[in-house]
Amino acid sequence: MSSFVWPFQKTRFGLAFSDRFVLAVRNGGPLQIAMRELPVGLIEPSSVTPNIRSVSELAQLAEGALGELEARREGVVVLLPDRSIVTALYTSRRGASEKELQAAMGAKLAFPSREVRFDFWRGRGGVVLGAAVREVVAEQYEQVVEATDSRLGWVDSASLARIPDWARPSGGSGLDVQLQLHANHYCLSVFLEGSLVDLRIKLRPVGILDGVQREVTRLPALHGVALRTITVLGEGAAALAAALEEIPDLGRVHVEDDGEERLLASALKALLERPRP
């Protein structure tokens, strides 16, 4: 749409952080990716305590990845690890003010609300997706970006970035499930006629998919609606999709078994297409 209105789309850049690597992406033309693997323990995602052991060391690696793409350092969008933020889904909060939502979400946090940045995405049918990040956590990642002489653009979390794009009516009845499989966790988002009705971000042991399969199998009973489509993205997507095929009356299954870096790159791409906040 934006390219229709303004055909001269600028090249933009993004950085995604995980506990295993930092990824730089260049948008505008073919998607280009540069990745740097991280030493063990350099990033330990947490929503409570600072995540980065050495900001300067991580900044050097990020600089290397951005440099490989010859990145222009303006409006660099950033994806924080899922586990660095707290997420909440409110299914019927139509008309709720920002203040009310902050109070509701703040009451459930393990740290004081005054130390937190909140944001709320309002979807169809009064659905509100809330996200909270502790200042000390966000500031560390921002310091890394600033250390690469970059100006910050949009900041979101890895698995939430594409939810607004997915929350569109699909023209059929039944649950549309999006599964994002990361190395150590997964994000399950469920849509009913374009409305986000369920969201779970959970840890999983590396390579183990049993828990994910069980969660998906239970969804029809939980929501009283049959599964219509399942999209499985990320590490082990093909294996999980094969196991899910056994679910009776399952609709279409779409698989992109690309590895975590492709998953993050796709999320960054979605973010890069958003206007600057």
Partner 1 sequence: MNAGIYLGPRKSAWLRAKALILAFVGISTLFHGVERYAQRQEVVTLRGELAAIEEELSRTLSSNAPNESRAVMWQLRAVSESGVAGAIPATELLKLLERTLPDGVALVAVTIDPIPPRASLTIEARAAREADVTELQKNVASAPRVAATQLLEERRAPDGLLTIRLQVDLIGGRP
Q: Which residues bind partner 1 (CB under 8 A)?
A: 78, 80, 85, 117, 119-124, 129, 131, 133, 138, 142, 152-157, 160-161, 163-164, 271, 274-275, 277
**Cβ of residue 10: shortest distance to partner 1, in angstroms?**
17
Strand, helix or coil at 188?
strand
Amino acid at residue number 179: L
Helix (H) or strand (E) holding 40: none
**Cβ of residue 194: shortest distance to partner 1, in angstroms?**
11
Measured from the CB atom, the residue of 154 and 186 that comes closer to partner 1 is: 154
Rounded Cα gap, residues 194 and 124, in angstroms: 7
**Cβ of residue 162: shortest distance to partner 1, in angstroms?**
9
Q: How far is CA 275 from CA 76, 90, 133, 183, 221, in A?
A: 12, 25, 21, 30, 39
Measured from the CB atom, the residue of 84 and 231 that comes closer to partner 1 is: 84
- Tell me 274's DSSP state: S
Measured from the CB atom, the residue of 5 and 40 that comes closer to partner 1 is: 5
**Cβ of residue 246: shortest distance to partner 1, in angstroms?**
34
Measured from the CB atom, the residue of 248 and 275 that comes closer to partner 1 is: 275
Rounded Cα gap, residues 232 and 218, in angstroms: 16
